[in-house]
Structure 1
Amino acid sequence: MMAPDTSDDVPSCACKGVRRCLVCEGLKEKVQPEIVHHFLYDPQSRLAVGKDAQAASFPFSGVFLWENFISEEEEKELICAMDQDVWKESQSGRIKQDFGPKVNFKKRKVRVGGFSGLPALSHKLVLRMYQESALDGFQPVEQCNLDYHPERGAAIDPHLDDSWLWGERLVTINMLSDTTLTMSLEQGLPELGLTGEVHVAVNLPRRSLVVLYGEARHKWKHAIHRKDIHVRRVCSTYRELSAEFLPGGQQADLGAQLLNIALNFQGSPV
């Protein structure tokens, strides 16, 4: 008897386009930039400090870091609650839980779908955010929990978050391990004599909160590289609505409906 043909038994993953994980790594080619200038973000001075002694530092705006935003006990409580819900396979080796409306970004369509609100434990965290002036008036309409694990080769490639639906501030709570958020600018900074790609590493301590806004939100791409995931890392990212969905905007009624659902804090993953 002939052995069954297993040539098509290729493990599946959720990666699409240029995204990759350890399952599909050998099937996709990644082109590396020829020249990369490396800097480190200093949250005290808010400067990007050159890792090369010859590279000059420069102001890096649009990043706010809040260390020890949650306690160790709160972290345990949050992770325990997440692990009692279902994690779904996502791209680039991640798994996720979504608390938000159903969105088709290509067609620019939004519907409530199964959205029932943000999770209950997020209520106290959102109230705490209001203590910081950088988050004044922040009303999250979506929360995405992401689980990164080195065994899956989890990462997220450099990208800009949508700005049609999502507003000015992106807020992320980093849990279970320290990691690095890499900001990148492909066109370089010719005014500083940096003609290659520029990377600015933003160190994210465990249990910290980071806010991206302004140039860091709209000009610089952000990524979590595989090399910076050493043990399990979980994050919760909160997004607010753009002006189109706020009072006075073209879709203000839909925005009000979504916020009313989101801020009841009785949600489960969709």
Structure 2
Amino acid sequence: MATGELLSVCGCKGIRTCLRCEDGKSEQHLLQKNDPIRYDFVYDPVIKSAVREENGVRQSFQFPGVFLWESFVSADEERELVAAMDENVWRQSQSGRRKQDFGPKVNFKKQKVRAGDFTGLPAVSCCLVDRMRQKPLLASFKPVEQCNLDYDPIRGSAIDPHLDDSWLWGEHLVTINLLSNTVLTMSLDQGWEDMDTGEVRVAVHLPRRSLVVLFGEARHRWKHAICRNDVHGRRVCSTFRELSAEFLPGGEQEKLGSELLDIALKFKGTPL
């Protein structure tokens, strides 16, 4: 797709913006959108801590709730996955992203969910889910939704700091990062433990073809984002979400949850 075509349409709403809809915005607005992000710490997946060096002194604190699986897919698999995605329609989304949704019809404001036109996760994801479940952390992981997102610096793609819904979506958020390296920005508005420095930001480096899981504190307390300055080339990702306890055995909406999972795990889906 040509650059002009990429910038010809926009899916932004409200406070969300991309490079196209920022035309005519104030200079101050553009500076705020494009300023490099200051990271207080960098996540170390080996020691599972957030670490920084200051005046030759190493500072760190435990950062629970992040699991990084490097080289989750091979280069050949990456090509096949992206080719399969590109055979389907990419729909414009907010903040310069494009998306493909495979999941039930949801109204988060009214807390209502139904199958709608949902026909399951895509066929190419079946082997990926099987591979995820080889790890003890994801042994019981049953995704009911997959969202593919396409980021490109030409469009100024990003996603603002946010917490994913916890009424419908469960404990584990699983994302496969394809085509380029990026940084997942974890942030906490009020500081962490004995730190009184206000907002704290931790950079979680996501290598190309890696998988990352957010759970526990990182899922429910720390916001996550992809900043514009950390998108250096086309980046495609697939995020998988499981159901919350309300929709699992013993929950109030167990029957509906079972129906949705039955559809999802047939792996016969097309994007909605």
Q: What is the TM-score with the length of structure 2 in the denominator?
A: 0.90
Match of 2:118 in 1: 115
Question: Which residue of structure 2 lines up, in the alignment, with residue 146 of structure 1?
Answer: 149
| Residue from 9, 16, 19 that aligns with 2:16 | 19
Q: What per-residue deviation string (whole Å, max 9, x for no partner) do you get for residues 160-214 of structure 1?
A: 000000000000000000000000001112x433322100000000000000000
Deviation at 1:52, TM superposition (A): 3.5
Write the distance in 1 (CA, Å) between the matches of 2:49 and 2:169: 27
TM-score w.r.t. length of structure 1:
0.91
Q: Which residue of 2 aligns with 1:196?
A: 198
User: 1:117, 1:41 → 2: CA distance?
Assistant: 34
Which residue does 1:268 correspond to in 2? 270
Report percent identity of matched pairs. Answer: 66
What is the match of residue 131 of structure 1?
A: 134
1:46 maps to amino acid = K
Q: 1:107 to 1:27 in 2, by over 3 A?
A: farther
Relative distance call for 1:81 and 1:12 in structure 2 (3 A) is closer
Measure the CA separation in 2 of the matches of 1:115 and 1:23: 32
Give the alignment of 1:35-184 within 5 angstroms.
Answer: 38-53=40-55, 56-184=59-187
Asked if structure 2 preserves the Cα contact closer than 8 Å seen for 1:19 and 1:92, the reply is yes
CA–CA separation in structure 2 for the residues paired with 1:196 and 1:104: 34
Residue type of the partner of 1:133? P
Distance 1:105 1:223 in 2: 20
Q: What count of residue pairs does the alignment treat as equivalent? A: 259
| Structure 2 unaligned blocks of 5 or more | 1-7
Structure 1 unaligned spans of 5+: 1-10
Q: Which amino acid aligns with 2:18?
A: C
AA in 2 matched with 1:178: N
Give the whole-Å Cα distance in 1 for the aligned partners of 2:76 and 2:196: 44
Retained in 1: the 8 A contact 2:73–2:210?
yes
Runs of 4 or more off by more than 3 Å in structure 1? Answer: 26-32, 51-55
1:229 alignment partner in structure 2:
231
Tell me the amino acid that sits aligned with residue 201 of structure 1.
A
> Who is 2:240 aligned against?
238
Q: What amino acid is the match of 1:172?
A: T
SS at match of 1:56: strand
The answer for the alignment partner of 2:261 in structure 1 is 259
1:12, CA displacement in angstroms? 5.5
Q: Which residue number in structure 1 is paired with residue 5 of structure 2?
A: none
Secondary structure of 2:59's aligned partner: coil
Tell whether the 8 Å contact from 1:38 to 1:52 is kept in structure 2 after alignment.
no
Cα pair 2:101 2:148 within 8 Å, conserved: yes
Q: Let me know the Cα RMSD of the aligned residues.
A: 2.0
